Amino acid sequence: MRIGQYTDSDTTRTDSESTADAAGTDPWVGVATDDGVVDLATAGAAAGVDIGPKTSDLLADWEWRRKADLAVEYAESTGVGLRDPADLDRAAPVDDPQKVVCVGLNYRDHAEEGDNEIPDEPVLFSKFPTSVVGPEDAVRWDPDYTEKVDYEAELVAVIGERARRVDPEDALDHVAGFTVGNDVSARDLQHGDGQWVRGKSLDTFAPTGPDLVTTDEVGDPHDLNIFAEVNGERLQESSTENLIFGVDELISFCSRAFTLEPGDLVFTGTPPGVGVYREPPVLLGDGDRVTIGVEGVGELTSEFETE
Ligand code: ZN
């Protein structure tokens, strides 16, 4: 199942408003099917199941998968709640996570690329939730504030069930599915500060999407090709089989320290080839376009704009 968030297109909106996340209508949760996009709350209400308006509401319900399946079946058989994707804009699959957890140095060859030792335990850091944007939003920054904007291709796990002190063998049961993420980083702030939260948390620096693809559809999350392309040139290419700590180990490790809640995002790290370590370095500027792809999960393209 491909779960996403949508807003109704409004052609009267000006360009600057349409890229400003807050200016649009509140996004609502839908499921992409061959017949169109199922508005889960509308189809669910008609089918007799109560589904909240957003992905975070859906995932907070322990029966979310059963309810979503019922709503989709009902929409496919009656047409109720079925929308034409041409009338819709895309928002982040989860635009209001409580936490965005990230892990550094989680691909063996990326750790070596930065001359870092292979860690014995995951090195966690965070992006503030206000950095999250969707597949149609631009990444924007003030060029006087940071001059070293970089990309990081990442597989992102979306929590579907509260996780506290779970073992690795149970951890994937707490994951709803996966999406594609770009852990956009201001390298000058990240390296200058001595810790990373500011350089990782600029507004718009966490593009995600387009869909949250459920675990049953993704299959083994540790055997997926992953890439980043900058203006069509492939600069990162690897497989999640190169993860030092797998999704199950990461979820378990996090959950021993803090509770993971439905809708929380866990960025699982990036493979080699990020811009700052290239010779010469590749740093992003106004007008650049970055596509991140993860096999079976999707492709996420973001425009980069200085403001
Ligand atoms: Zn990262």
Distance, CA 116 to ligand 1 centroid (Å)? 15
Distance, CA 226 to ligand 1 centroid (Å)? 13
Cis bond upstream, residue 129 (ω within 30): no
Q: Count Cα atoms within 13 angstroms, Cβ side, for 90.
A: 24
Q: Is residue 56 a contact partner of residue 27, using CB atoms and an 8 Å limit?
A: no
Distance, CA 26 to ligand 1 centroid (Å)? 28
Model pLDDT for residues 209-218, shown as the tens digit of each residue: 999 999 999 9
What pLDDT score does 24 carry?
Answer: 55
Distance, CA 18 to ligand 1 centroid (Å)? 27
One-letter amino acid of 77? S
The structure tokens 């890229």 sit at 19
Distance, CA 193 to ligand 1 centroid (Å)? 17
Q: Which residues pair with 158 in a beta bridge?
A: 177, 265
What pLDDT score does 213 carry?
Answer: 98
Distance, CA 78 to ligand 1 centroid (Å)? 43
What pLDDT score does 11 carry?
Answer: 60
Angle at 213 between CA 80 and CA 55, to 5 degrees: 60
What pLDDT score does 203 carry?
Answer: 98
Backbone angles phi, psi at 282, to 5 degrees: -110, 105
Q: Is residue 170 a contact partner of residue 255, using CB atoms and an 8 Å limit?
A: no
What pLDDT score does 23 carry?
Answer: 46
Distance, CA 102 to ligand 1 centroid (Å)? 6
Distance, CA 12 to ligand 1 centroid (Å)? 37
Residues of the chain with CATH 3.90.850.10: 100-306
Distance, CA 168 to ligand 1 centroid (Å)? 21
Distance, CA 205 to ligand 1 centroid (Å)? 11
Distance, CA 105 to ligand 1 centroid (Å)? 8
Distance, CA 172 to ligand 1 centroid (Å)? 21
Q: Count Cα atoms within 13 angstroms, Cβ side, for 282.
A: 17
Q: Which CATH class is domain 100-306?
A: alpha beta
Radius of gyration of the chain (CA): 19
* Cut 0.75: pTM above it: yes
List the chain pLDDT tens, one digit each, 307 residues.
999 999 999 765 555 544 444 445 799 999 999 999 999 999 999 999 999 999 999 999 999 999 999 999 999 999 999 999 999 999 999 999 999 999 998 998 777 776 778 889 999 999 999 999 999 999 999 999 999 999 999 999 999 999 999 999 999 999 999 999 999 999 999 999 999 999 999 999 999 999 999 999 999 999 999 999 999 999 999 999 999 999 999 999 999 999 999 999 999 999 999 999 999 999 999 999 999 999 999 999 999 999 9
Distance, CA 61 to ligand 1 centroid (Å)? 29
Distance, CA 270 to ligand 1 centroid (Å)? 5
The structure tokens 């699982």 sit at 268
Which is nearest to 51 in space by CA: 67, 69, 30? Answer: 67
One-letter amino acid of 223? D
